[in-house]
Amino acid sequence: MTTLTRTPLIILGALLLCALTASAQEHVIKFATLAPEGSTWMNVMKEYDAAIRKESGNRLGFRLYPSGVQGDERDVLRKMKLGQLHSAGITGNGLTTVSPSARILDSPFLFRDQKEIDFAYGKFGPELEKAMDEAGYVNLGWAEVGYVYMFTNNPVRKKDDLSKTKMWMWEGDPIAEASFDALGIHAIPLSITDVLTSLQTNLIDGVYTSPLAAIALQWFTRVKFMLDLPLANAAGAVIISKKKYLELPEDLRTILTTNGRKYMRKLTELSRADNANALTTLKKNGITFTQPSSEDEVRSYAGIGSTARRKLVGKLYSQDVLDRLESSLEEYRRTTGPAKK
Amino acid sequence: MTRPTIILSFACLLLFQGCFQQIAVGSLTGIMEDGFLVLNEESDLALADASIASNLKLIESVLKGDPGNDKLLLMACRGYASYAMGFVEDDDTARALLFYRRGRDYGLRLFPADGALAVALRSDPAGLPDALRRAATSDVPAIFWTAVAWGSAINLDRTNPDALAELPRVEAMMEWVREKDPRYFYGGADFFLGTLKGSRPAILGGDTAASRVHFERALELNGGKFLLTYVYYAKSYARQTLDSALFGRLLTAVDTASIDILPEARLSNAIAQKKAIILRDKINEFF
């Protein structure tokens, strides 16, 4: 081979290499979340990213935007519609927009323990994911936020104690509205950013959130009691726009979804541990946990949950899916016995 | 020698040893304070890295013999916090967390154990506003550096609810410093509060508008000469608001500044220039 013929071959080789390098950067999934850098959510997302990069030979990877830098969940979903972002970690608010029926798993006093939660996600997850798919999103994995409790400045032992509470309600949240309506609470709708100040000024004296969020948002510094009976279990998920998903070659889709299930399950387990630790922290910081005064009282909350869930039929989900979910849980309880917290 | 004489001599020896130790610790403390000033003026990062590490161990050794020495406790608190920020955090967060906690613990020892401030900081956060109201201006360095070490430890320990629950205490300490002596350490309280409020979305308690005000005030107070202010302005506020143009401008201000712009903080400014390079490399990841 002469030098003249060799040179173009070298150039061709270099061009091919450039093309390969360029293709390695083709499949970047822009992901946004409200979770801050260093949080369990972001730590697991980084592990997920590392796993898909490794398995795909660096052809697929996330670009992670933590800490709400891309805006709140509504902003992020809007940017996903415009193609500026492809993927997001979403919770209640975002789920209501993406696929309202998925919020059935957020409904009040539905689950008695975490095994029931896992059972319900296992049985109804695929159906709810199908609804997401029809709305243009692929669910890469459910990642729950965790049990939501009511925190108050007056002790709540009986349901009637709640009626005296000036309870905050996240404005525009249908689940909270139905729940507090059924509980006979006249809740005060406010933006989440106004909650701490409103607790300080006594505009409200009750809030609901997960134990970890109560600490991260510093709300725990302004309340004294927590009713030790979860109001609900808050759902979360990592989704990708179907458009972006379908642009990926099939082998990369498999890598993305297989790892999505794996790492979101890990995230759920870690979030449960975080929340369990957060409960201990709350106790250490002087929050008193109150219990429902009797078994009848516990049963009455279950009844309230049932009433609230019916108020959401037609708004978030169908009567059919609610009936099937409730009867599946009853069947599950008959076969597994008493709940374990 | 009679028995009483032996006892007397032994007592004198002990007394003398005690005095000698006090004199030695006193001299060492003075030398170390001077050393601290010299280190802050150092522009060679490798030399500073090696010197600070050995000086910190020396301070700890002397503290063994004089555990209540306020000057040494403050040096240990400030030294560990600064060393972790300048030389460890960018490469090894687990090790940095260890050093920040060590700095925090030395700092907490600066407050008398049975005093209102120590009790409030350790176990009664509800009493903190009152305790801070009673604190004096002379407490500013102790409160500032303890808050720096403590807040930085929490920042690296965000999955730990116990640590997160302590953040309101740190914020209250820094707000107090800002009111009492806003000029302390180049507008350090505003710098710290700007970082804290600019690193979280509003939904999680952040306040980017307030963050910007804090950073601008810090720059005003230090005349734009304490370059770490620009670095943390970029890292928190500019990143949080997705303002890549501001991010670039802030880092350029660091890159183009003379290392001698503030001779007594030459080391901090050299660290700022190193951090600006690391941060600029992440521009495609952030925006």
Q: How far is CA B61 from CA B56, B71, B96, B246, in A?
A: 9, 14, 21, 45
What is the C-alpha separation between B207 and A218, in angstroms, rounded?
14
| Residue that wins the pLDDT comparison between B201 and A155 | A155
Query: What digits encode the pLDDT tens for the residues B255-264?
Result: 999 999 999 9
| Residue that wins the pLDDT comparison between B18 and B57 | B57
Task: Judge: A284–B162 Cβ closer than 8 Å, yes or no.
Answer: yes
Query: What digits encode the pLDDT tens for the residues A84-97?
Result: 999 999 998 899 99
Query: What digits encode the pLDDT tens for the residues A71-80?
Result: 999 999 999 9
Q: What percent of chain B has pLDDT over 90?
A: 82
Is residue A43 less than 8 Å (CB to CB) from chain B?
Answer: yes
Residues on chain A touching B167 (C-beta within 8 angstroms): 218
Q: How far is CA B19 from CA A290, B12, B204, in A?
A: 59, 10, 55
Half-sphere exposure (CA, 13 Å, Cβ side) for A45? 29
Coil, strand or helix at B226: coil
Query: What digits encode the pLDDT tens for the residues B227-242?
Result: 999 999 999 999 999 9
Is residue B46 less than 8 Å (CB to CB) from chain A?
Answer: no
Query: What digits encode the pLDDT tens for the residues A221-252?
Result: 999 999 999 999 999 999 999 999 999 999 99
Residues on chain A touching B246 (C-beta within 8 angstroms): none
Q: Nearest Cβ partner of B165 from A68, A196, A220?
A: A220
| Mean pLDDT lowest among A306-315, B18-27, B98-107 | B18-27
pLDDT of residue A20: 44
Task: Judge: B204–A67 Cβ closer than 8 Å, yes or no.
Answer: yes
What is the C-alpha separation between A40 and A51, in angstroms, rounded?
17
Q: How far is CA A209 from CA A32, B163, B265, in A?
A: 22, 19, 45
Q: What percent of chain B has pLDDT over 70?
A: 90
| Residue that wins the pLDDT comparison between A58 and B34 | A58
pLDDT of residue A1: 40
pLDDT of residue B37: 83
Coil, strand or helix at B29: helix
Q: Give B38's pLDDT tier (boundaries 50, 70, 90).
A: confident
Q: Give B103's pLDDT tier (boundaries 50, 70, 90).
A: very high
- Interface residue of B97, B162, B204 to substitute, partner A, most A CBs within 10 Å: B204
Does residue B13 register a pLDDT over 80? no
Half-sphere exposure (CA, 13 Å, Cβ side) for B8? 5
CA-based nearest residue in chain A for residue B126: A221
Q: Give B8's pLDDT tier (boundaries 50, 70, 90).
A: low
Query: What digits encode the pLDDT tens for the residues B174-213?
Result: 999 999 999 999 999 999 999 999 998 888 889 999 999 9
CA-based nearest residue in chain B for residue A193: B203
pLDDT of residue B205: 87
Q: Give B12's pLDDT tier (boundaries 50, 70, 90).
A: low
Q: Which residues contact B36 (CB under 8 A, 6 or more apart)?
A: B55, B75, B79
What's this model's pTM, rounded to 2 decimal places? 0.88
Q: Report how far Cα A149 is from the mean position of its chain's Cα atoms.
A: 15
Contacts of B131-134 with CB under 8 Å at 24 or more apart are: B132/B172, B132/B173, B132/B176
Q: How many CB pairs under 8 A join A and B?
A: 79
Axis crossing angle, helix B70-83 with helix B140-155, rounded to the nearest 10: 30
Q: Which residues contact A156 (CB under 8 A, 6 or more apart)?
A: A150, A162, A165, A225, A227, A290
What is the C-alpha separation between A272 and A264, in angstroms, rounded?
12
Give contacts of B 210-229 with A, CB under 8 A.
Answer: none
Does residue B224 register a pLDDT over 90? yes
| Residue that wins the pLDDT comparison between B132 and B10 | B132
What is the C-alpha separation between B29 and B59, in angstroms, rounded?
8
pLDDT of residue A93: 85
CA-based nearest residue in chain B for residue A271: B159
